[in-house]
């Protein structure tokens, strides 16, 4: 099972197979499941992946703000 993780800190996307704790190789922050499947990810261009990472982080921030209220 290959999973797609995103770093909420720097938007880095990483492909991981069967790991419990995933740490960002760029900034060291804990990574979270992106919701993308490996197949979806593999069909995206580099540009689309960057865009997805940015949108995912924006959504996550919105969610965080809502949870704090
Ligand atoms: Zn990072």
Mark the residues whose beta carbon lies below 5 A from ion ligand 1: 7, 9-10, 12, 24, 26-27, 29
**Beta-strand relationship, 2-6 and 13-17:** antiparallel
Rounded-to-5 percentages of helix, strand, coil across the chain: 40, 25, 35
Structural domain of 41: 2-68
pLDDT over 70 (residue 65): yes
State in Å: Cα 59 to ligand 1 middle: 16
Per-residue pLDDT tens digits for 27-47: 999 999 999 999 999 999 999
Count of domains forming the chain: 1
pTM given for the model:
0.85
């Amino acid at each position: 099972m290959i999973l797609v993780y995103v770093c909420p800190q720097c938007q880095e996307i990483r492909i991981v197979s069967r790991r419990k704790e995933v740490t960002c190789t760029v900034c060291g922050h804990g990574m979270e499941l992106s919701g993308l499947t490996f197949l979806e990810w593999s069909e995206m261009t580099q540009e689309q992946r960057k865009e997805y990472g940015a949108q995912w982080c924006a959504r996550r921030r919105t969610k965080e703000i809502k949870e704090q209220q």
